[in-house]
Amino acid sequence: MATDDSDSSQTEEGTPEDETTTQANLSSVPSDSDTGSHTDHSSEPTEQSSMTDSSTDDSSQSIEDMLLEFDQQDGLIRDRSLLDPNHVVAEDRIVGRDEQLQEVTKMLRVALGGNRPPNLFLYGPSGTGKSLITKAVCNNISCICETRDIDFGTVEVNCQDLDTLGVAVYELTKQAADQAGVPVQVPKHGVATKEKWDELYRIVNENFDSAVFVLDELDMLVGRRDKQEPAFSRLLYQLSRAGANDDLTASISVVAISNDTRMMEAVGSRALSSFTPEDVHFDDYDANQLQAILHRRQDAFHDNVVDDDVIPLAAAFAAQTHGDARKAIDLMRVAGELAEREGDERVREEHVREAQEKVEKNRVLEVIRGISTQKKLCLYATAAVASQTQGGTARSTTGYQVYQFLTDSIDANQYHQETYVNKMKELTTYSLVDFERRSHGPSSGMFLEFQFEERPETILETLHEDSRIDMVSPEEVRPVVKSQIRNHS
C-alpha cells in the first residue's frame, strides 16, 4: 500500500501544432488585397464603429462612476467595525461572560501598581470570548496606567501561523517594539534565537514598567518535530523564567490562550513548574447569549433595516457549531453585505440563510483546497458517516470501511487503518473536525469518534468539487455508509 500524501496534477495545454494550425487557418481567410478586389464599406457600419458607439452609450459606467455611485448610497451597514469579530468593543457590549471578565480583571489589576500579575491559562472553544476579554481588560489597564505615569504594555501575538520558536520570539520582539515606538535591532532570520530573546528583553526593560504577554492560539506553535517538547512549552518556560533570572526587570505576566483544553498536558515539567497559571474556563455560548451579543451590535446597521427574525436565526446557526460568537457576528456581516449587493432595503431571513451557506462553504473550501487527495478521501468517508448518524459523529472503524470503498471505486492508493486515523487526526489542526477516544466495552477495543465543526453535508458538497471524488456519486456512497453503520452498531 502506498502512503504518499501528495497530489499529482496535470494541466492540458495547447501544443505548438495547435497554435500553428490556428495561425494557418487565420491566414487562409482571403483579404481584399489577396483577391485584388476592392469593396466600398463606407456605407456599412464597421465593427470598430459599433464598439465606439457602444462605448459612448449613456447607459455604460466607468469603474470610477460605479464606485462613486456606491459611495453615495446610504447602504444598510452604518459601522462595519462592530461586525468585525476581532474588534475590541466597549465593555457594555461584552455579554454572557460576567464571571470570566471578573476573574481576568481581578488577576490582572495588580499591574495598576506596576506589580507582576499572575500568569493565566484561558481555554475553551473558539469564539467564546477569550481574546476579547483579555484585550478589553488590558486596554483598560493601559488607560489607567497612563494617568498614573506607569508604562504598561500589551505584547500580543497569534501563534497560529508561527512555525518555530525563533519566529515566535521575533514576532514578540516586533510587537513590543511597535508598541514602544522603537526599531527592532536584530533580523528575523540569520541569527540565533538567543539574540532575539536578548533584543526582546532589552526593548521591554527600556520601555515598560510592566507588561502582559498574550499568546493567542498557543497550542498551534508546535515547532520542529525533532525537539523533545513542543515550541509552546519552551516559549512558556523562557518567558516565565525571565524575571527570576533578572533578564527582565519589568514586571511581566503571561496569558496563554488555547482552544485545546488538553494543551497543558503537553507542557514540559520545567515549564509547568515555572509557569503555574491560574486557569479560566470559557464554555460555549448558548443561543440566548448569542442573541444578546448580536443585539448589542445591531446598531452596526442603520435604524429599522434588520428584520426581527434575523438575529434569532443567526444566533441559532452559530449555536449549532459550538456556540461561536465570531461565527454569529460574521453571519450578520455577510447577510448585511448580501442584502446591500442585491439592492434590498432590509436584511431578511433569506439573507442569513444565504450567508450561512456562503460562510460555511468558503471556510471549508479554503481548507480543503490545500490538502491532498488522500486526505480528502479520508475526510469524505468520515463526513459521509457523520451525515447519516443521529449525533452527527463518525466512528473511525466505520469511516475506514467507507474510505476503502471510495479508494476502490476510483482506483486510488489505499492507506492502512492506522494511517487513515492519523490523517484524520492531522485534519483536527484545520478546525474542521475533532475527536474523542471511545470504547466498545470493558472487553472490547478502543476507537476514535469524530465530531465535525461544520455541517458534514457542507464538507461533502465542497469535496465533490474535486474531479476524482466526484467520480463517485452520493447515491453510490449512501447505501455503503448505512450498511457499515448497521454492522458497527
pLDDT at 138: 95
User: Hunting for cell 461565527 — which residue is that?
Assistant: 327
Q: Where in the chain is the domain with CATH 1.10.8.60?
A: 285-364
Give the end-to-end CA distance of the chain in Å, rounded to a whole number.
Answer: 29
Give dist(CA 54, CA 43) in Å, integer: 19
Q: Which helix (H) or strand (E) holds 325?
A: helix 325-341
- The values of phi and psi at residue 158, to 5°, are -100, 120
The dotted CATH code for 369-488 is 1.10.10.10
Dihedral of CA atoms 20, 22, 28, 33 in degrees, nearest 10, equals -100
Distance, in Å, from the CA atom of 403 to the CA atom of 458, rounded to the nearest integer, reads 18
**pLDDT computed for residue 276 by the predictor:** 93
For CATH 3.40.50.300, the residue range(s) in the chain are 97-281
C-alpha cell of residue 135? 484585550
Enter the C-alpha cell of residue 428: 483536527
CATH number of 285-364: 1.10.8.60
- Angle at 316 (CA atoms; ends 312, 321), nearest 5 degrees: 155
Query: What burial class does residue 468 get, using C-beta atoms within 10 Å of its C-beta: 0-12 exposed, 13-18 middle, 19+ buried?
Result: middle
Instruction: Report yes or no: 379 and 466 within 8 Å, Cβ to Cβ.
Output: no
Per-residue pLDDT of the chain (489 residues; tens, 9 = 90+): 443 333 333 333 333 333 333 333 433 334 443 433 444 444 444 444 444 444 444 457 788 776 666 555 568 999 999 999 888 888 888 999 999 999 999 999 999 987 889 999 999 888 899 999 999 999 999 999 999 999 999 999 999 878 899 999 999 999 999 999 999 999 999 999 999 999 999 999 999 999 999 999 998 888 876 577 889 999 999 999 987 777 888 999 999 999 888 889 889 999 999 999 999 999 989 999 999 999 999 999 999 999 999 999 999 998 886 678 988 999 999 999 999 998 899 999 999 999 988 877 777 777 787 788 899 999 999 999 999 998 889 999 999 999 999 999 999 989 999 999 989 988 887 777 888 887 655 545 678 899 987 789 888 988 998 888 999 999 999 999 999 998 876
From edge to edge, which strands make up the β-sheet containing 393-395? 393-395, 446-452, 433-439
**DSSP 8-state class, residue 211:** E
**Entry field: residues in the chain:** 489
- Note the pLDDT of residue 175: 97
Q: What is the per-residue pLDDT for 46?
A: 44
How far CA 405 is from CA of 201, 409, 413, in Å, comes to 57, 6, 12
At residue 212, the pLDDT reads 96
Per-residue confidence (pLDDT) for residue 371, from 0 to 100: 85
C-alpha 241 chain-centroid distance: 32
8 Å CB contact between 173 and 221: no
Architecture of domain 97-281 in this structure: 3-Layer(aba) Sandwich (3.40)
Strand partners, 123: 258, 281
**Cα–Cα distance between 215 and 190 in angstroms, integer?**
24
Sequential DSSP letters for 189-202 = SSS-HHHHHHHHHH
